[in-house]
Amino acid sequence: MPSSPDVVIIGSGIGGGTLANRLVQHGLTVTMLERGDYLPQERENWDVDAVFANQRYVPAETWLDKHGVAFRPGTYYYVGGSSKMFGAAMLRLREKDFQELEHAGGVSPAWPITYRQLAPYYNLAEQLYGIHGEAGVDPTEPSDVPRYPYPALEHEPVIEQVASALKNRGIKPFALPVAVQRHPGGPCIRCKTCDGFPCQVHAKTDAEIAAVRPALASGKLTLKTNALATRLLLTSDGRRVNAVEYQSDGHIESITAPVIVLSASAVNSSVLLLHSACDKAPNGVSNSSGVVGRNYMAHNNTALMSIGWKINETKFQKTICINDFYFGDHDFKYPMGNIQGLGKLQTGMLTAKQKFLPKFLGDRMAERSVDWWIMSEDLPDPGNRVLLQGNTIRLHYTENNMVGHKRLVEKARSLMSQIGFGLNIAKHMGGLSVSHQCGTVRFGSDPSKAALNEFCRSFDHENLFVVDASFFPSSSAVNPALTIAAQAIRVADHMAKNDFGITGIGNAS
Write out pLDDT tens, residues 217-227: 999 999 999 99
Write out pLDDT tens, residues 175-222: 999 999 999 999 999 999 988 999 999 999 999 999 999 999 999 999
pLDDT of residue 143: 87
Instruction: Enumerate the H helices of 26-91 as residue ranges.
Output: 48
How far apart CA 231 and CA 458 sit, in angstroms, is: 16
Mean pLDDT within 56-80: 95
pLDDT of residue 1: 33
**Residues above pLDDT 70, as percent of the chain:** 95
pLDDT classification of 507: cutoffs 50, 70, 90 = very low
How far apart CA 441 and CA 293 sit, in angstroms, is: 7
Residue 455 has pLDDT above 70, yes or no: yes
Write out pLDDT tens, residues 88-99: 999 999 999 999
Write out pLDDT tens, residues 458-493: 999 999 999 999 999 999 999 999 999 999 999 999
Residue 448 has pLDDT above 70, yes or no: yes
Q: Give Dmax over CA atoms of the chain in angstroms.
A: 70
Residue 2 counted as domain residue = no
Residue 507 counted as domain residue = no
How far apart CA 82 and CA 148 sit, in angstroms, is: 24
pLDDT of residue 361: 62
Closest CA to 434 of 286, 268, 230, 290: 268
How far apart CA 417 and CA 377 sit, in angstroms, is: 25
Mean pLDDT within 284-288: 98
pLDDT of residue 271: 98
Residue 348 has pLDDT above 90, yes or no: no
Phi, psi of 127 (to 5 degrees): -70, -45
Write out pLDDT tens, residues 423-442: 999 989 876 789 899 999 99
- Beta pairing class for 221-224 and 30-33: parallel
pLDDT of residue 297: 97
pLDDT of residue 309: 76
DSSP 88-118: -B--PPPGGGGS-EEETTEEEPPPSS-HHHH
Domain of residue 102, CATH code: 3.50.50.60
Helix axes 115-128, 14-25, angle to 10 degrees: 80
Residue 490 counted as domain residue = yes
What's 136-154 look like in SS3?
A: CCCCCCCCCCCCCCECCCC
Please say whether the beta carbons of 31 and 244 come within 8 A.
no
Cβ burial, residue 233 (10 Å; 0-12/13-18/19+): middle
Number of domains in the chain: 1
Write out pLDDT tens, residues 384-400: 999 999 999 999 999 99
pLDDT classification of 138: cutoffs 50, 70, 90 = very high
How far apart CA 476 and CA 376 sit, in angstroms, is: 7
Residue 153 counted as domain residue = yes
pLDDT of residue 357: 56
pLDDT of residue 370: 95
Residue 205 counted as domain residue = yes
pLDDT of residue 182: 96
Region of 410 (left: φ > 0; alpha: ψ -120 to 50; beta: rest) is alpha
Cβ burial, residue 154 (10 Å; 0-12/13-18/19+): middle
Helix (H) or strand (E) holding 260: strand 259-262
**Residues above pLDDT 90, as percent of the chain:** 89
Residue 352 has pLDDT above 50, yes or no: no
Residue 506 counted as domain residue = no
Query: Domain range for residue 289?
Result: 7-500
Residue 270 has pLDDT above 50, yes or no: yes
Query: Is residue 17 helix, strand or coil?
Result: helix
pLDDT classification of 356: cutoffs 50, 70, 90 = very low
CB atoms within 10 A of CB 494: 16
Average pLDDT taken over every residue of the chain: 94
pLDDT classification of 506: cutoffs 50, 70, 90 = low
pLDDT classification of 2: cutoffs 50, 70, 90 = very low
Please say whether the beta carbons of 34 and 265 come within 8 A.
no
pLDDT classification of 504: cutoffs 50, 70, 90 = confident
Please say whether the beta carbons of 335 and 477 come within 8 A.
yes
pLDDT of residue 505: 74
Residue 349 has pLDDT above 90, yes or no: no
Residue 202 counted as domain residue = yes
Exposure on the CB side of residue 455, measured as CA atoms within 13 A: 15
Residue 121 has pLDDT above 50, yes or no: yes
Q: How many helices (H) and strands (E) does the chain have?
A: 10, 20
How far apart CA 30 and CA 8 sit, in angstroms, is: 6
The alpha carbon of 424 is separated from its chain's Cα centroid by a whole number of angstroms, namely 27
How far apart CA 275 and CA 283 sit, in angstroms, is: 9
Write out pLDDT tens, residues 22-36: 999 999 999 999 999
Residue 351 has pLDDT above 70, yes or no: no
